[in-house]
Structure formats: C-alpha cells, structure tokens
Structure 1
C-alpha cells in the first residue's frame, strides 16, 4: 500500500511539472559560466529566451548543438533573443567547454537538477568523462544528466515552443525558424516542433 501511494505521488509530481506550450515558464536561477548567479526574474520580459537542456559538456552531440547556437547567435541577437544552455555540469566544466569551442552565450550549471525539474525535463544520475583540453587531460564531472529538451520563452515569460525530441545538430536551425515566426508581423507560431 505504501509503495503504491509513493508511486501515485511520484506520478502526480511528474504531471505537476509537465509544462506545455502556453504555460508560464518557471522562475529559476543558477550559476553561470562566470560563476555568477543568473536569476530569470531579472531578465523576464526583456528578451525572448531559448532555454535548452543538454546531457553533458564536451560530448559529440552536445558540442554540435552548442556550436549550432554559437553560429546562429548573431542572427538571434538581431531578433532580441538570448540563448541559455543548461546541463548538470559544473561551472568549471562550462568554462572549459566555452573556451574550447568559443561559445558566445550563457551556460548555467544545474548539478542538482533543480532547473531541469522545474521545466519537467527528466534527469538521470551524473557521470564523468575525460577530455583533452589545451593539451591536458581533464576529468569533467556532472551531478545530473538531463535529457535534451528545448524551450522558447517569449517576453511575457510564456512557453511558445517546446521540443522533447531534439536532434542536436538541427536544434538551432529549428529554433531560428520559430524565432522568425514569433518576431514576424503576424507573430504566428507552431504549437509543436516542426519536423
């Protein structure tokens, strides 16, 4: 009986955090790649935000995804968009990742998975990998491993796009199309990610 109640409570918790297009985005905070606290309340209503969750710094698909955003950022800036990448990596890992790939947007550390939880993004246990960075082998540890999900949040702090089946290399291109629709005179948006 206790186990059944615990499972029911867990399902309720999952449903409670299931965010849909049209929902208000959660307020969240975390330490950025400069080890400064980034608080969403300070930025809500100022820009359009792309908030993307990814499993781990310095891994092949996550690097493709991050570099896609890096390369698309100039166009996104013109549309008044800010990109925030979030993973369970440490601030130090993010610093290595940004430096190695010349990333030009904010990365937030979510080692305990609280930001992912607020968005309803599933996480798993953390992990560690070793990578050669600037000629030196570095061990990169992360507290949690998030699923690859992407959200676009408008200036009213509402979720206008959610993709739970992200293709890493194509994510920035798909999101840029959403941004173009959102910022067009008609402001039309798809309710689900386009294929």
Structure 2
C-alpha cells in the first residue's frame, strides 16, 4: 500500500552519486523534503523531470526544502546522469527496490517500469502530498506549490 498523506516517512539508506551512503534521517524530520521516484536515468520524460527539478532547485532551497530523486539505476548511472545534466540535488540508487517497496510504490507496465511518484514531506517527516502522474513536469509544479504552502 502506497504511503498516503499523514503517514510518517520510513527510515531508509542508499548510495548517492558519489557512492556514499545517504541516511534519510540526516534530512527527513529536519526540513521539508521532496522525494521523487522515477523509472530510469537518461530517458526522455525522466530527463525532462530531473532538469525541471534542477531548474527550480533554487526555489526549493529558498524555501528551506531539499529534493531527492530515487530510481533503481545504479550509482554509476546516477553519477553520469547527474554530471551530464548538472543536477544539484540528491540522487539515490535503489537497485534492490527496497526504498520503493517501503514507500509502497508498485511497478507499472507489467512490472517493467517503475511508477513516477512524488512525495512532499514536512519538516516533521510526515507526508503532506502524494502525486502520481506519468507527466514529469507536473511533479515540479505540484511539489513547489505544496512546499510553498507548508512554509508560509
């Protein structure tokens, strides 16, 4: 069952683009966080979505929020994707799909591709928005609106 508004975000850890272990509790519960799950590095919609978050990253930062992108691609793929597109936010590798499962995200398209889901989490680590759409650009707009609402 997918996490819903009012649920606490589970504790998780994963490798970032540099191969370092990221611990969720280092950020979640400290500030608002946008966590977005996407299917695959360097595909058209996923790249547009990542670049949209990149282009709006300063807006999220100005509101005191962090952005975390998660897919099942490996650390090396994330490193290349991040470098190629100058992505300033955290990218995490979920190769074993443990984090995806903790968030209750199921696969779509006969289990081949992961769903595209964005969660906005408040400074207390509680989910305040869940947005599920194949259209990557809408995720940035919805997440930024929600973070603005949370930080008023």
Residue 88 of structure 2 corresponds to 104
Residue 140 of structure 1 corresponds to none
The TM-score, its normalising length taken from structure 1, stands at: 0.73
Structure with the largest fraction of strand: 1
Residue 146 of structure 2 corresponds to 178
**Superposed displacement of residue 171, structure 1:** 1.4
**Superposed displacement of residue 124, structure 1:** 6.5
Give unpaired runs (5+ residues) of structure 1.
1-16, 126-143, 185-195
Equivalent of residue 92 in structure 1, options 76, 83, 92: 76
Change (3 A) 1:124 1:32: farther
SS at 1:58's partner residue? coil
User: Is 1:147 paired with 2:147?
Assistant: no
- Measure, in 1, the Cα distance between the counterparts of 2:36 and 2:99: 11
The TM-score, its normalising length taken from structure 2, stands at: 0.93
**Superposed displacement of residue 150, structure 1:** 0.4
Equivalenced residue count is 150
CA contact (8 A) 1:113 1:123 kept: no
SS at 2:124's partner residue? coil
Q: CA RMSD in A?
A: 1.6
- Measure, in 2, the Cα distance between the counterparts of 1:98 and 1:87: 13
- Measure, in 2, the Cα distance between the counterparts of 1:176 and 1:41: 22
Residue 136 of structure 2 corresponds to 168
